[in-house]
Chains A and B, each alone.
Chain A
Amino acid sequence: MMHDIYYIVSGPMVWISMVLFAAGSLYRVFSMGLLAAKKDHVVISYMNIRYALRSILHWIIPYASISMRRRPVMTAVAFSFHICLILTPIFLLAHVLLIKESWNISWWYLPDRIADAMTLTVIAGCIFFLIRRAIRPEVRYLTDASDYFLLALVAAPFASGFWAAQHWPGYNLALVIHILSGEVLLASIPFTRFSHMLFFPFTRGYMGSEFGGVRKAKDW
């Protein structure tokens, strides 16, 4: 029975979540592009690659925009959170090894201690965003239950993964929760507000294009 559970979560469900993520992402980006072409053509005609990249560059470098400098703590947390969120799963030894076993390809991996610290950074980031949502009036006003749910969904694979990595009691359950919540998180990216991962280059690129090409102004 246990082997069946482990097999399902680490076999077919991995594929299902990857396909949902990849196909869902393509669908969201293309359907949004078609919608823009049909209903909001200005977005496409104003798009300018130079201004777009200039804006994206200023917003992916910490403190390169006025808004980021005005909120130094939020900027530090947001950057460290996102960097650790994306890099830790890709360069975790345990993950690299599983891919090595399946496909016989491998790449560089993080020392365990660094990976632990990066995982804790993600969890700490979630707690920071949680408290921020609860106490800052302007954020609280825009918050509903789904925001807390999405925060929990991000924290789940990292918290359970950290738990399992420390070999704390309930290891087997922690690992099953880790795998399952990771799959749900990955599959949910295209279909929830996590889709900002897909749309960021386009929304930022458009803002940069409009400010650079039309208003002749900086947007950072």
Chain B
Amino acid sequence: MNLIICMGLFWVISSLHPPVAFSQDDILTVDDSAFLRHMRPAVKFPHQKHAVNKRIQACSACHHVYQNGVWVENGDSIGMECSECHYEEKQDAIMDLIRVYHLRCKGCHWEQKAGPVLCGECHRKD
């Protein structure tokens, strides 16, 4: 019985997504042109929410630049698609690209214990 109540509570709590306090314009759809065929619904990314988040030190946390494998401290890659650097024509290329997206988004959410980490929390059908 207790188990059932716990599971019920879990269900309710886990269904309560924090309301997004920004307009639709601040929510970008992650639709990298390298993904010719979507295997999952494209992610609706609340960009503004991340931009004002104090736990994210700089834009270059995501919009980073590497030259010859070395991180460029004041560089940024704003306006570029991830696939411009993280995609090269070879076998498994799409899996590699998906991997860097997941490690960047989900990896940070895990570290910060904040933000979605389950597949369907980002890849939503609605």
**Chain A residues in the interface with B (C-beta under 8 A):** 2-4, 6-7, 93-94, 97, 100-101, 104, 106, 112, 164, 167, 169-173, 175-176
Nearest-CB distance from B120 to chain A (Å)?
Answer: 5
Which B residues touch A167, using CB under 8 A?
Answer: 120, 124-126
Contact of A101 with B103 in the complex, beta carbons under 8 Å:
yes
**Chain B residues in the interface with A (C-beta under 8 A):** 7, 10-11, 13-15, 39, 92, 95, 98-99, 102-103, 106, 109-110, 113-114, 117-121, 124-126
Which B residues touch A4, using CB under 8 A?
Answer: 113
Contact of B117 with A97 in the complex, beta carbons under 8 Å:
no
Which B residues touch A172, using CB under 8 A?
Answer: 10-11, 14-15, 118, 121
Chain B interface SS verdict (over half): helix
Contact of B99 with A93 in the complex, beta carbons under 8 Å:
no
- Counting from the closest, the 9 A-B pairs by CB-CB distance are A172-B14, A3-B113, A167-B125, A173-B11, A106-B95, A170-B11, A171-B120, A167-B120, A100-B95
Contact of A2 with B102 in the complex, beta carbons under 8 Å:
no
Closest A residue to B119 by beta carbon equals A94
Contact of B95 with A164 in the complex, beta carbons under 8 Å:
no
Closest B residue to A112 by beta carbon equals B39
6 further interface pairs, Cβ-Cβ under 8 Å (given A2-B14, A104-B99, A172-B118): A3-B114, A167-B126, A170-B11, A170-B15, A172-B121, A173-B11
Nearest-CB distance from A5 to chain B (Å)?
Answer: 8
In the bound complex, CA of A173 to CA of B97 (Å): 29
In the bound complex, CA of A15 to CA of B119 (Å): 20
Closest B residue to A175 by beta carbon equals B118
Q: From the candidates A3, A93, A97, A176, name the one contacting B110 in the complex (CB within 8 A).
A: A3
In the bound complex, CA of A78 to CA of B52 (Å): 56
Assuming A7-B110, A172-B121, A173-B10, is B15 touching A97 (CB within 8 A)?
A: no
In the bound complex, CA of A100 to CA of B92 (Å): 10
Closest A residue to B117 by beta carbon equals A6
Which B residues touch A7, using CB under 8 A?
Answer: 110
In the bound complex, CA of A100 to CA of B124 (Å): 21
Which A residues touch B95, using CB under 8 A?
Answer: 97, 100, 106
Which A residues touch B102, using CB under 8 A?
Answer: 97, 101
In the bound complex, CA of A1 to CA of B14 (Å): 11
